[in-house]
């Protein structure tokens, strides 16, 4: 054992029982070369460790599944929480092996092979992808945009980033030849609160090709006052397609 700035005061090579506290006067730190377990492979039990630099590092571990940190409650047969060398975190109930995980799956992607339940609000800044069925067990809230007044002719009608598109038609009616903001599989609900009608023109040449609207039976579709329609952007045909009227 070295005390202070590398000064060798004593080196203990035998088992020793300390019944009191060791105190050091005017010592900046205590450096320990090695701590060897009394029983090989069982490790050394330390009641508490204060890390002056507030950091601990375990490098050059053999396996990615080696445990870096683990915790359990008295009486447990298994760890309740472990951090593995590859950064994976796993949890269990202490009565059996760990059964829940969280880990890096790819660049900028965290993944769990199990379930995740959120008690509060879940905010997603970009896209939420459901690879399997999506089930809403309670009410579903769908955000809407503020009201937008339309011109008599809209060759590139602008949409907001919300699902619900609230629009006021021109008093004499509005013709929509194309809609911007295209994205594959994007769905919007377009509804008219104006006195005039909104007419979706089928395959209008006045619009950019990939912003055109495809209507049923190639006939212009007229949306009357207080009516709404679902539109979905089809990335294969590069068209907005009317899905249904409510």
**How far, in Å, CA of 68 to CA of 79, rounded?**
12
Task: Answer whether residue 91 is part of any domain.
Answer: no
Residue 69 has pLDDT above 60, yes or no: yes
Task: Answer whether residue 115 is part of any domain.
Answer: no
Task: Answer whether residue 175 is part of any domain.
Answer: yes
Task: Answer whether residue 65 is part of any domain.
Answer: no
Number of domains in the chain: 1
pLDDT band of residue 47 (cuts 50, 70, 90) is: low
Task: Answer whether residue 209 is part of any domain.
Answer: yes
Q: What is the DSSP string of 25-84?
A: SS-S-EE-S----SSTTS----S----TTS-----S-S-TT-EEEEE--TT-SS-SEEEE
Task: Answer whether residue 200 is part of any domain.
Answer: yes
pLDDT band of residue 25 (cuts 50, 70, 90) is: low
Task: Answer whether residue 100 is part of any domain.
Answer: no
Task: Answer whether residue 96 is part of any domain.
Answer: no
Q: Which of 104, 78, 100 is nearest to 91 (CA)?
A: 100
Mean pLDDT of 206-210: 97
How large a percentage of the chain has pLDDT more than 70?
77
Q: Which structural domain, as residue segments, surrounds residue 182?
A: 148-245
Residue with tokens 């013709």: 175
pLDDT digits (tens, 9 = 90+) for 143-196: 888 899 999 999 999 999 899 999 999 999 999 999 999 999 999 999 999 999
User: Model pTM?
Assistant: 0.61
pLDDT digits (tens, 9 = 90+) for 148-162: 999 999 999 999 989
């Amino acid at each position: 054992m070295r005390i202070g700035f590398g000064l060798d005061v004593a080196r203990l090579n035998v088992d020793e029982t300390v019944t009191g506290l060791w105190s050091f006067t005017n010592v900046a730190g205590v450096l320990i070369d090695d701590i060897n377990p009394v029983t090989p492979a069982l490790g050394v039990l330390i009641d508490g460790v204060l890390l002056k630099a507030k950091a601990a590092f375990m490098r050059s571990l053999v396996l990615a599944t080696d445990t870096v940190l683990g915790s359990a409650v008295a009486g447990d047969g298994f760890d309740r929480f472990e951090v593995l060398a590859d950064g994976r975190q796993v949890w269990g109930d202490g009565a059996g092996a760990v059964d829940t995980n969280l880990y890096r799956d790819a660049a900028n992607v965290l993944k769990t092979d199990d379930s995740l339940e959120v008690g509060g609000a879940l905010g997603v800044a970009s896209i939420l992808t459901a690879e399997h069925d999506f089930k809403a067990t309670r009410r579903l809230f769908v955000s809407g945009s503020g009201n937008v007044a339309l011109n008599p002719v809209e060759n590139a009608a602008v949409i907001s980033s919300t699902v619900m598109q609230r629009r006021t038609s021109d008093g004499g009616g509005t013709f929509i030849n194309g809609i911007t903001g295209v994205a594959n599989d994007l769905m919007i609900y377009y509804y008219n609160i104006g006195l005039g009608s909104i007419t979706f023109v089928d395959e209008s040449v006045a619009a950019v090709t990939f912003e055109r609207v495809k209507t049923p039976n190639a006939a212009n579709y007229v949306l009357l006052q207080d009516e709404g329609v679902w539109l979905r952007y089809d990335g294969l045909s590069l068209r907005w397609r009317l899905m249904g009227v409510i």
